[in-house]
Amino acid sequence: MEKTANRLMPLALIGAGALAATGFQPLGLWPLTLAALAFLIVRIEQARSPRRAALAGWLFGLGLFTLGNNWIATAFTYQAAMPAWLGWIAVVLLAIYLAIYPALAAFLAAWLARRFRAALLPAFAGLWIVTEYLRATLFTGFAWNPLAMVALGGFGRPGLAAIAAWTGTYALSGIVVLLAGLWLLAWHTARAGRLHAAAMTAALPVALILLPWHGRGGEGKLAYTLVQPNIGQDTINDPSLYEGQFQGIARLSLPRAPGSPRIVLWPEGGLPDYLRSGYPQFFYNATTYAADPDLARARIGRVIGPGSLLLTGATDLIVEHGDVTAARNVVTALGADGTIRGSYAKAHLVPYGEYLPMRAWLAPLGLSRLVSGSLDFLPGPGPQTLDMGVHGKAGVQICYEIIFSGEVADRTHRPDYIFNPSNDGWFGAWGPPQHLAQARMRAIEEGLPVLRATTTGISAVIDADGVVQQFVPRLTAGRLDGLVPPAHAPSLFARLGNRLAFAWALLLLGASLVVARRRGGR
């Protein structure tokens, strides 16, 4: 029986990791996440060596990241150059790499427990914070679905995630590990016959995650119109449909009260026109009905009307010696008179989505980017604030950039709001709600409202407490109108950034060693 259990344990750990992923959106089954983490902690405690503990952490991570990132496989269904089945291989290969980080946390926690008799739970929680930060930063970083996301409440309340303004996301992930440890403690307490104490211990994580925090609200002053055109990924790059797509987004953007200051927000990928002059004529003929960027900008200005300013996703080309050599994924600010008022270039680019790493080696093998086009995108300089005068100070984070905790706002020139245009049409059913949840976490951390305009959903207006005030569901065309929610004063996280995460990690590691010293003094 014991041998059979040992043979099945790797599958049990992978399954536990997959159960933990159900705590993320769109399922939100956070009790399963806590239970699965408690099981992992038991396996680390019972491991015969730190290496065995690392294997347990790796197997758990394999299940966690395979199910949590399943939306990546959908992207391959929109790529003619590569077969769709390759998507699931890509998901598993990515999970094999990402699982290294929980494995490292498990290894070091077990080593500290053996070498210094440190308390395993706070050590593991502190090390999870550190390794999750490393996952988000090393090799360009992949910050998707930090464990903290299971602590985020429904659209109308932030839940325990409200404390991210004082902890940051990665430290909140460590706190989630501690909550799982409380459930494990409750289990041991119940087995010892202390049922009342066990019930109280088990109830504490539930009470914290369901924290009834509804935000501070407040009235804004700047009017917005946020547009979701519902342009599917299977049609977004078809030139024969460009004009119809433009007419659709134009109808959704027309002013209802002309003349007053208003920002109009269009998504990433929703505008096929090149807005800048100076490119080879072929590029204009291939994309815009007007074949002229001046005419394209002028007709957009007529659509948004006097008093309005458009912030739209667009593409800028890099021209060298008369040849187009690369591109930038940008947000362009366009006035009602058709003039460009400013722009922001995306800094965090998606590997294999916006550029092909090691192109000289991989392109001959038939590999390509997952979105159309052969030009690689070049990164911009990082967070910037576009001062639009009466239209406010806009921070911009394009699509995937919004997932990077501590990297979304210019701390020297704090914006009034963050605009997050995105094309989530190739992210499947799980990607868009996970993306929205991470945008909500950035709003809480920074104390800034976030306005998301996407091609196919979920577009939303999020206040500075992470509460979704309005949204357009997936696969629906629509517009949102209102006043941009007010920003809060800079939060502790907005001032200190991820130094807070390391402070929490050191606190937890210190607590684990204090326990070790007390044990040694007995």
- pLDDT of 388: 95
The mean per-residue pLDDT over the stretch 241-255 comes to 93
Q: Give the C-alpha separation, 249 to 15, whole Å.
A: 44
Radius of gyration over alpha carbons of the chain, in Å?
24
The mean per-residue pLDDT over the stretch 359-383 comes to 63
- Percent of the chain with pLDDT strictly greater than 70: 91
- pLDDT of 237: 81
Q: Give the C-alpha separation, 188 to 116, whole Å.
A: 24
Q: Give the C-alpha separation, 381 to 120, whole Å.
A: 41
The mean per-residue pLDDT over the stretch 400-411 comes to 95
- pLDDT of 184: 93
- pLDDT of 231: 93
**Whether residue 63 has pLDDT greater than 60:** yes
pLDDT in tens, 25-52: 999 999 999 999 999 999 999 999 999 9
- pLDDT of 279: 83
- pLDDT of 291: 63
Residues annotated as catalytic (active site), given as ranges: 268, 346, 399
- pLDDT of 118: 86
**Whether residue 504 has pLDDT greater than 90:** yes
Q: What is the pTM of this model?
A: 0.93
- pLDDT of 497: 96
- pLDDT of 97: 96
- Which pairing describes strands 385-387 and 393-396: parallel, antiparallel, or unpaired? antiparallel
- pLDDT of 357: 54
Task: Assign 343 to helix, strand or coil.
Answer: strand
**Whether residue 127 has pLDDT greater than 70:** yes
pLDDT in tens, 85-125: 788 998 999 999 999 999 999 999 999 999 888 899 999 99
How confident is the prediction for the chain on average, in pLDDT? 90
Domains of the chain: 2-215+498-520 (no CATH), 223-317+328-348+383-487 (3.60.110.10)
Q: Give the C-alpha separation, 143 to 410, whole Å.
A: 19
- pLDDT of 325: 83
**Whether residue 175 has pLDDT greater than 80:** yes
**Whether residue 351 has pLDDT greater than 80:** no
Render 385-426 in DSSP notation, one character per residue. Answer: EEE-GGG-EEEE--GGGGGSTT-SS-SSS--SEEEEEE--TT
pLDDT in tens, 296-339: 899 999 999 999 999 999 999 988 888 888 889 999 999 999 99
- pLDDT of 350: 78
**Whether residue 386 has pLDDT greater than 50:** yes
Of 25-34, 38-47, 153-162, 210-219, the one with minimum mean pLDDT is 210-219
- Among 171, 178, 169, 180, residue whose Cα is nearest residue 145: 169
